[in-house]
Amino acid sequence: MAALTFLEARNAVLTQCSPLDSPPAIEAVCLEAAAGRVLAEDIAADRDTPALPRSVRDGYAVRAADLPGELEVIGEVRAGERFAGEVAHGQAVEIMTGAPIPAGADAVVMVEHTQRVNGRVHIAGAAEPRQFINPQGCEAAAHQTILRPGKRLDYSDVALLATFGCTHARVFRRPTAAIIATGDEIVEVSETPSAFQIRNSNTYSLHAQVARAGGVPRILPIARDTVEQTRAAIVGGLTADLLLLSGGVSAGKYDVVETVLASLGAEFFFDRVLIQPGQPVVFGRVATTFFFGLPGNPSSTMVTFEVFARAALELLAGQTETALSMPYSRLTRDFRHRAGLTRFLPARLSLDGAEVTPVEWHGSGDVPAMTRANAYLVAEPGRPEYQRGEFIRVLPK
């Protein structure tokens, strides 16, 4: 298969995984458990909000046409109350933020622009009608749909559910992701490796990444680099909604993952992408289950999950959209890379995110360097040189 560019590969994932043939099952969760879940129903406003015209400042409710001038203060209204009377010509009502506008008033003047003298208030400036008043229903009208299925709920969505009296939300069941590490040299974390062996770290970085993306990780045993063992592991993993393999997808003699997947009737959408780390990354499907073969070097596994597999998992979770936010930041030093590949290199963003500095690293296996990074520099394939002070894209970690 021809190698794809980064964007082509990302588009292949988005196209294949969306829309879903069969949406995930639905369950109800309480508000405290709703953030991070994907909404499975329409939510409508149960009333106008605000339910009455409301003041957005502390001050005085007035008739705009009376100003400038001195007005008689006939009472006050606080949030949670309603003023019984009516504001007539030459009158004002002291009002607090959030309180309903009394009948007769058509503007609010901020308390900072007034002078109270005994029972009267002096206002030197003019007022626009409707100033500092939120009209009834301006935020949402009763019965208006305010959230739609497929949205991953964030904290503001949870606030909206609460505002409209939803004690529970119907959400999609979280997708499961099976995780299989492959490799003859890989030993369990609890084992003492010989000098020629390596502890399994990919299973655990993937576990954390899957959970953060809203999936349910399912760890399977390490598969050795034989067709039989890899095949048995993959068959077990295909019962999940998404199968994630680490290692075994390079061109080596013992990289058997692709061969085994092909023998299981896999359809491949790509098996090489012009990125680094992670060039040999594989994406495909066996029957209805999508899989990723993520190259085994730890940073390759981490990066290819973030830029490809996370999108797949989010779409399988029922999300209608998935984003990869890569803002620009200014380089603190000159930066050079070999053209032709999109590179994701460990980097540190400054506290305000305005500046970015590459982290010194020793290649795709350098996990300590990855932990010193809080972002990846995203170097473009067509641009081998960046000067200090120039903008470069950044993928926050």
Site string for Mg ion, 173-202 (x = CB under 5 A): ----------x-------------------
Closest distance between ligand AMP and the C-beta of residue 324, in Å?
A: 23
Distance CA 329, CA 302 (A): 22
Closest distance between ligand AMP and the C-beta of residue 299, in Å?
A: 10
Query: Which one of 295, 346, 358, 381 is in contact with ligand AMP (CB under 6 A)?
Result: 295
C-beta closer to Mg ion: residue 131 or 250? 250
For 212, phi then psi, to 5°, come to -65, -30
Footprint of ligand AMP on 250-269 (CB under 6 A) = 250
Q: Which tokens hold the place of 352?
A: 């305000």
C-beta closer to ligand AMP: residue 175 or 296? 296
Which residues in 154-167 are b (16+ Cβ under 10 Å) and which e? eeebbebbeebebe
Indicate whether 200 belongs to the interface with ligand AMP (CB under 6 A): yes
**Window contacting ligand AMP (CB under 6 A); options: 1-9, 117-125, 291-299, 342-350:** 291-299
Amino acid identity of residue 287, one-letter, is: A
C-beta closer to ligand AMP: residue 217 or 295? 295
C-beta closer to Mg ion: residue 66 or 271? 271
Indicate whether 202 belongs to the interface with ligand AMP (CB under 6 A): yes
Closest distance between ligand AMP and the C-beta of residue 250, in Å?
A: 4
Footprint of ligand AMP on 216-255 (CB under 6 A) = 246-248, 250
When CB distances are held under 5 to 8 angstroms depending on the partner's kind, the choice from Mg ion, ligand AMP, none that residue 198 binds is: ligand AMP
Distance CA 240, CA 70 (A): 73
Indicate whether 201 belongs to the interface with ligand AMP (CB under 6 A): yes
C-beta closer to ligand AMP: residue 66 or 306? 306
Residue with tokens 């779409």: 315
Indicate whether 183 belongs to the interface with ligand AMP (CB under 6 A): yes
Pairing of strands 267-270, 282-286: antiparallel
Structural contact between residues 150 and 314, judged by C-beta atoms closer than 8 angstroms? no
Which residues in 210-229 are b (16+ Cβ under 10 Å) and which e? beebbbebbbbebbbbeeeb
C-beta closer to Mg ion: residue 18 or 203? 203
Q: Does a cis peptide bond (omega within 30 degrees of 0) precede residue 19?
A: yes
- Rg, the chain, Cα only: 29
For 301, the 3-state DSSP assignment is: helix
Amino acid identity of residue 350, one-letter, is: S
